[in-house]
Amino acid sequence: MDTPAALIDTVKMQRNLERMQQRADSLGVQLRPHVKTHKCAQVVAAQIAAGARGITVSTLKEAEYFFAQGIHDILYAVGMAPHKLPQALALRRQGCGLTLITDSLAGAQAIVDFGREQGETFAVMIEIDCDGHRSGVKPQDPALLEIARVLGDSLVGVLTHAGESYGLDTPEALQAIAELERARCVEAAERIRAAGMRCEQVSVGSTPTALSAVSLEGVTELRAGVYAFFDLVMHNIGVCGTDELALSVLTTVIGHQPEKGWIITDAGWMAMSRDRGTQTQKRDFGYGQVCDEAGELIDGLLLSSANQEHGVARFQGHEVEVVAQFPLGTRLRILPNHACATGAQFGSYHAVLESGDVEVWERLRGW
């Protein structure tokens, strides 16, 4: 195949899917995977076959695409912008069980007002801020109950995402933030119920917290996304080994700078993305860990820098005769920092099956 190409090791992927599904089952909750990592119909089909119940999306285009693939239970887990409400309405009118989220009075009022005008009662969840990482209303904030009252019959539950878990790297710290995520989302649900309003769904999750939680008492569903592929950021956090990374980029050696120990590849940042998520972690992998064509790690060899269509791989800490060991035309694989960002660089994946056969799986792009 031509390079650069995004490869999925389907054996590793399937193990990852089964691992997370077994985790959700053991914690007594449903798994609603976030499909923003892969945006691929075949991967979603494998997740559903493994036991997932519904999906989470990051764009309404994803919702439309996967609804057309036969998935009806879809959570759009990005704060609802009022101008997108007609698009959401069209999906619901076609039979999609689309759920929206909001974290403000203005957002709730816009959803309710538009629904009333159109004769539609949207299903809405309130986003809870459990760790100060990004969006959401704090569970103790008086605005929580005000938002719930405005939503009225539209309110179906609360959800949260402990994004701060991405900055941790010990089992103890991950367990603690997983419990914080659970406790604060459950607290929000209990406040709403105590005020006489319904709050049926309590949704939590990120890949690190999902794999670290000791208990999910009071939670109904778990959301996680990058676990399907994993990546070097997840490896540094400590929730997977490099042998569990299912996504890699196949690249070709196109040149050398022998005096500098450089191996020039045709995978630059247009293939790997600009994401340097490991830069602030305990180990910096540059733009990615280099492997041989079979996927075996080459110790010390990183994609240390990248231009648009050129990558520079070099060994860390020791010298190698790069021309002799990696002659022109050599195929290599690069493990990515961030599977979501690297996947987004490609319009399709090359899925390597257990038989060794390769299938092309299309990937959704855009908004």
Q: Is the pTM of this model over 0.85?
A: yes
> In this structure, are residues 166 and 208 in contact, taking their beta carbons and an 8 Å threshold?
yes
Return d(Cα 248, Cα 192) in angstroms, integer: 45
Distance of CA 269 to the CA centre of its chain: 20
Return d(Cα 139, Cα 25) in angstroms, integer: 27
Q: Count Cβ atoms below 10 Å from residue 135 Cβ, excluding itself.
A: 16
> In this structure, are residues 19 and 327 in contact, taking their beta carbons and an 8 Å threshold?
no
List, in sequence order, every residue forming a beta bridge with 361; answer none if it has no partner.
Answer: 349
Which CA distances in Å does 276 have to 55, 129, 153, 304, 336? 28, 26, 44, 11, 9
Per the structure block, which two tokens stand in for 183?
A: 């406790």
List, in sequence order, every residue forming a beta bridge with 8; answer none if it has no partner.
Answer: 247, 351
Q: Which domains occur in the chain, in start order?
A: 11-228 (3.20.20.10), 246-335 (2.40.37.20)
Task: Please name the residues in contact with 321: beta carbons below 8 A apart, sequence gap of 6 or more.
Answer: 258
**Mean pLDDT for each 10-residue chunk of the chain (367 residues)?**
97 98 98 98 98 98 98 98 98 98 98 98 98 96 98 98 96 98 98 98 97 98 98 98 98 98 98 97 97 97 98 93 98 98 98 97 96
Secondary structure (3-state) at 256: strand
Looking at residue 235, the DSSP 8-state letter turns out to be H
Residue 318: per-residue pLDDT? 82
> In this structure, are residues 173 and 239 in contact, taking their beta carbons and an 8 Å threshold?
no
> Which candidate, 337, 348, 339, 73, places its Cα nearest to that of 228?
339
Return d(Cα 282, Cα 289) in angstroms, integer: 15
What backbone phi and psi angles, to 5 degrees, belong to 54?
75, 175
Residue 311: per-residue pLDDT? 98
> In this structure, are residues 262 and 305 in contact, taking their beta carbons and an 8 Å threshold?
no
